[in-house]
A and B are shown apart, each in its own frame.
Chain A
Amino acid sequence: MVNSLKDHLGRHVVVVTGMGVVTSLGQGQQDNWRDLTAAKSGIRHISRFSTEGLRTTIAGCIDFLNVDPYSAPALSIAMAESAASEAIEQANIGSKGDFPGPLFLATPPTELEWPQRRELYAEESDTTFEGYDRLLSACRANKHEEMQRLFQFASVGEHLADKYGTKGLPISLSTACASGGTAIQLGVEAIRRGDTDTALCVGTDGTVNLEALVRFSLLSALSTRNNPPEAAMASFSNDRDGFVMAEGAACLVLETYEKAKARGAEILGVLMGCGEHADDFHRTRTSPDGMPMIKTIQKALVDAGVESSDIGYVNAHGTSTPENDKMEYFSLKQAFGDVMETTPISSNKSMIGHTLSAAGAVEAVFSLMTMRNSMIPPTINYNTPDPDMGKIDVVPNKAREADVSAVISNSFGFGGQNVSVVYGREPK
């Protein structure tokens, strides 16, 4: 038993003792798992703002937390709190407002939004000032400290650090759509170094606003299959045409196996290893030979000390863009070999949409629940096989019972960001 506290490289085994999640399917592990395994979609027509004249009019918005007025950081904070409170309660660790470790937070870059710009613009009545000069003049006249704090890049992290009493500097990070995976990776590295024996890893993203939607649309990244919204995300299917923006948050409480066992905590799963390799090919596209993704997957397997044949399920990045799904499966086949053709791979995003900065964290929770419940959530809207992919088992359209003891979860992002994380069960 003593040996099981250290991994194949003599490092602390890192385990998960608490999880929390919010997606467009609902709040909490239970509701999410129920809908995810019932092949339900959380994608709807957007009601938060007018989509008149826009090519994409659907998203996975979180409107049930009643954040009013909406702003991306305010919603990101509310969702992160929901997920973190659920995870900390499940882990039953520390005491209220006193979490015994650091915070690693995947959060979207903040930016002042149109309602705030308009508010400042309206405050200054001197029309000799134009544009930003008028906004600056309004700020010279009246301090807007709360507004500034909300839109600092440290805002979400500071808020969480205050609420949960995490230790040290709260780390806010962005690796675009790989951010959730990076937050977990940073937690694992800190624990392996011995900096801490506990970490709170959070991913959150509440950025479905007009400008963000238009921006992704201009990059031709979004699905335009608006009707019905539930059918838009078609990961790995030949008719896929882009992703659907979505909001969500998730949280993992990480601990050394040693500490978790000593305090009698329930072990929800093991963080076996992480892999990362950056792509230098293009800002939004993957190297045509897939090498950075292949290296990322290979590094994760090596770090975890497992073979590809040990992986019982691939929790795909699976964004439903023509490029991602093709390159992801191609890279997996290169890294895994023939065994990939019979390894189940599914995209949670087919139901919850692409939760962007939160995706790697949200999908970590679902990867762990897959093992715990011996049930693989499906890839919905899988209608037509992509002939370029060859043999693939996407767990089409219906959840499947399966005894899975190790999962690899991929997260890839603009800017050449690639992270893969391997999750396993508690060692017997």
Chain B
Amino acid sequence: MKRNDAMSKENADVWITGIGLLSSLGEGTNTHWAAMSGTAGSTVTPVLDEENYAPYPVHPLVEVDYATQIQKRGDLRQMEPWQRIGTYTAGLALADAGLAGDFEALDRMDMIVAAGSGERDAAMDQKVLESTSGESANKGHSNEILKSELRPTLFLAQLSNLLAGNISIVHKVTGSSRTYMGEELAGLASIENAYNRISSGQSDLMLIGGANNAERKDSLLIFEMGQNLWGEEFKSIWERAEAGGGLVQGSVGAFLVLESADYARARGAKAYAKLSGISSDRCRRDDGQAKDSLDSQFDKLSATMEKGDLGILSGASGTKQATAEELAFIQGLGNKGFTPIARAYGSMMGHSFEAQMPVGLALAAISLSKGEYLEPLDGSGVEASADKAPEQIMVTSVGHWRGEGLALLTSLDSKEAK
């Protein structure tokens, strides 16, 4: 499905007016900007935990005082970490947009959360495996263990839609609530749906985003079943792809407030950037299909774009084929008249599946509003430095397994910009 401004000029403009970010780098837009723009020090360095999940490095979550966004201890107790990360970050985005506590607005706000699901109780799983495997196996015994060890709260903390449910309870977002699933493509599809609903007038105020808790072996297991993880000394995204490929998970929360320009103006809200177009598609990932899909999506989206410098915030995971094809697409942009200034933000924040594309939109919006590109985030040579102010940034989403998409963000007139 493809829509963009070129096809529907009468449609409402879609602005990004609030951003919540939480990761290994810290919390909030300024902290992330400082860590990735070089202003915090001369070089940008990722934060890693290379011990607790060895041989897999992960980007661990910064220490968080959840009580600042999730005041009731009872609420916090009902959530496992991924829901805490998401609920906290949604609160940051609402506060950033000036909507926290605006109950009238929140009661009509539409929400889409892109979610996987929650943690297993690793100790209980180990107990079941030990008592029901091998020669002394007693499979009937698992009924007893599950009955005595499963906690009702853990079930609710596992349900995919309970991140949205917690956001409704804690922050009072109740206009509508939908949860998209499907790893990276859930993030992509939720942004596309929000864009389509706002630009067509079906909604004027939306909250979208997702969360990932990287620090859990049950989640590492799902991706290592297909040997998708990077299990050696840490390398950045492009370097990793060349050395055999693999993804490094990051604990991340990313939420965005999107609204129609008219709605934002009426309530006096400033915006980071405009979401000018978005496109998505799927293929079966035969050789070259992902690159072809990106090329044809780009050609449609770029019909109205000015040629020249183009920021690319790549959501590449580092897995071999997907990342190689995305890189070939980026490096082919020169032939289309664009000079790509690419940054793979996964090198700094890790890969966060459902939250990956919301992270990219957040960073692109911050970058446009600051009027600067992020620093190059690796030493592969793919990421050229740039001095000029970005006017347009494209965010890529190529799922480690499925789903390809592009989103175009453009800068706003200074009167309207944050």
Contact = CB atoms under 8 A, between A and B. Distances in A.
B336 interface: no
A174 B111 contact: no
Counting chain B CB atoms within 10 Å of each CB, which of A109, A162, A192, A292 scores highest? A109
A421 to B, nearest CB: 14
A195 B222 contact: no
B150 interface: yes
Given A219-B152, A415-B165, A149 B133 contact: no
A174 B216 CA distance: 23
Contacts of A219: 152, 155-156
Contacts, number: 239
Given A280-B174, A415-B159, A172 B221 contact: no
User: Which of B3, B129, B280, B405 has the most chain A CB atoms inside 10 A of its CB?
Assistant: B129
Given A133-B217, A144-B225, A283-B162, A109 B181 contact: yes
Interface residues of B, number: 81
A52 B221 CA distance: 30
A169 B280 contact: yes
Interface string A126-154: 00001111111001100111011101111
Given A50-B140, A114-B142, A136 B217 contact: yes
Contact of A276 (B117, B176, B226): B176
Interface in A324-371: none
Contact of B147 (A143, A172, A214): A214
A121 B161 contact: no
Nearest to A182: B178
A413 B161 contact: yes
A230 interface: no
B175 interface: yes
A204 B172 CA distance: 30
A415 B177 contact: yes
Contacts of A38: none
A134 B221 CA distance: 10
Interface string A281-294: 11110000000100
Interface of B: 1, 3, 78, 111, 115-117, 122-123, 125-126, 128-129, 132-134, 139-140, 142-144, 146-147, 150-152, 155-156, 158-162, 164-166, 168-169, 172-183, 185-186, 188-189, 192-193, 196-197, 200, 202, 217-218, 220-228, 231, 280-282, 284, 399, 401-403, 405
A222 to B, nearest CB: 12
Given A136-B221, A145-B225, A149-B401, A54 B147 contact: yes
B225 to A, nearest CB: 4
Contacts of A109: 116-117, 158-160, 181
Contacts of B196: 190, 193, 195
Contacts of A211: 146, 150
Contacts of B178: 173, 175, 182, 186
B168 A279 contact: yes
Q: What are the nearest 9 A-B pairs in CB distance?
A: A415-B165, A131-B126, A154-B182, A132-B217, A148-B225, A148-B226, A278-B177, A168-B1, A153-B181
Given A171-B180, A214-B150, A283 B156 contact: yes
A159 B62 CA distance: 37
A343 B165 CA distance: 32
Contact of B143 (A52, A152, A283): A52
A154 B160 contact: no
Given A114-B128, A161-B282, A171-B189, A279 B174 contact: yes
Most interface-central of A133, A152, A279 (chain B CB within 10 A)? A152
